[in-house]
Structure 1
Amino acid sequence: MELNHQLGEYLDQVPINKERYQCLVGKLIYLGHTRPDIAYAVSVVSQFMHAPSEAHMDAVNRILRYLESSPGRGLMFARHGHLDVEGHTDADWAGSVTDRRSTSGYFTFVGGNLVSWRSKKQKVVSRSSAEAEYRGMAHEVCELLWIRNLLRELGFRPKHAMQLNCDNKATIDIAHNLVQHDRTKHVEVDKNFIKEKLEVKIIKVSFVKSEDQLADVLTKAVTCRVFHSSLSKLGIDDIYAPT
């Protein structure tokens, strides 16, 4: 995606063939199940299926050109000698120019390998960045719990708490603070849900610097340097790339 893109719905936008747009985006959504590098871009263009414009199609064509230039890129799995579960969660506050809803995203690792990811616009408008981050964190906690239960059913019992990384200190403070105040009333359900998992030591929340936040590429358009650096850390390689 173009950096600082302003994709949205405008009164003067030029409409295009809806069926062709929906067909292309539908195929990209299907491909996104194995290509986390296009997750954010596809989540953006899929928001305009009902009324696509030339600007939206340009964004789709940009994704197609990227895919054409990297046909061998995908997830590479390796053995790291452990089955630790770790998550990265992030949110872009009020990123949508149309309705000012936030976009949240998460990556989940098992044994050092990326196994699940999600980039999605939130259903309600968040009144602060901490609220947006907290709603995104709740979604990742649910994913971590599901993976933990799946591993237990397969006979792999977790040895310690699952690591959850977040780059918002206010969100982490709210997760560990029992006091209710104006900043937490509107996310009270999510707050108590996460607090409960922290108390029984199923998860532990840690702060990471923004430059080390892998989930950044799921919430906003980033520079080429940051994008490719994140892909390397996620274990996404190109089998056709020169060694």
Structure 2
Amino acid sequence: MENPSQDIHAVFDLIDNPHPPEIQRAAIEKYFLPEAGFRYPVYAIEQGPNSRAKVLAVYRWLHFISTRTKGSITHVMYDKSRDVLMLDVTQHLQLRYMPFNPSKSRMITRLTLKKHGGLHYIALQEDFMHPDAAAGLLFPPLKSAVHYALVLMGLLLSKLMILVGMMNFMMGRVEKDKEMIKAKRRERRRRKNANGQSEPVSAEEIAAKMKDTLGFELKENGGSAEKAKN
């Protein structure tokens, strides 16, 4: 491709939409590198020697199971500095032998390009889509089921977040009450000290004073006093 942001529309039509096998093969061999890779929600082809042949086989398989596959590009973004194309794609897929309406899905396609001889070639194609859209590709009735499951999960998570917020609020109130109680105790002690009242003296402090002044120390467990040895 000489101008990726403009040429990609024609390239996408030749590769993704129904065409005779020889036209699709010629397009893939022309615009994909021989070692190109391809990642899709339900399969992956790693980049490697002659991996382009696998990409072609996958495209042929997709058109075999869905003869009415049709895709269209709605938006294109080209990052010239990284040589990357981002495509907003709408795809219609109707599986053969299945009595269901065509599955419509929206996906984001990321094309990593490489420049050779003044032209840009596709080195890696990556398709991203929502879980319900991917499920619809495999079995169309699953699309609605997966969609509602996602909606219920979102509702559940929002309710859990409300519960967590309430718990945090209650824990914050408890911690705040504890701090208020500690602050009141400190204030009472400060007022007692200001009025000349001494704070309660512990048993250890009393024993230490008796030893220093009288030369006696108290035994533990209620024992009698003994004179301290000098």
TM-score after normalising by structure 1? 0.20
Higher RCO (CA < 8 A, seq sep 6+): 1
Q: Higher strand fraction: Structure 1 or Structure 2?
A: 2
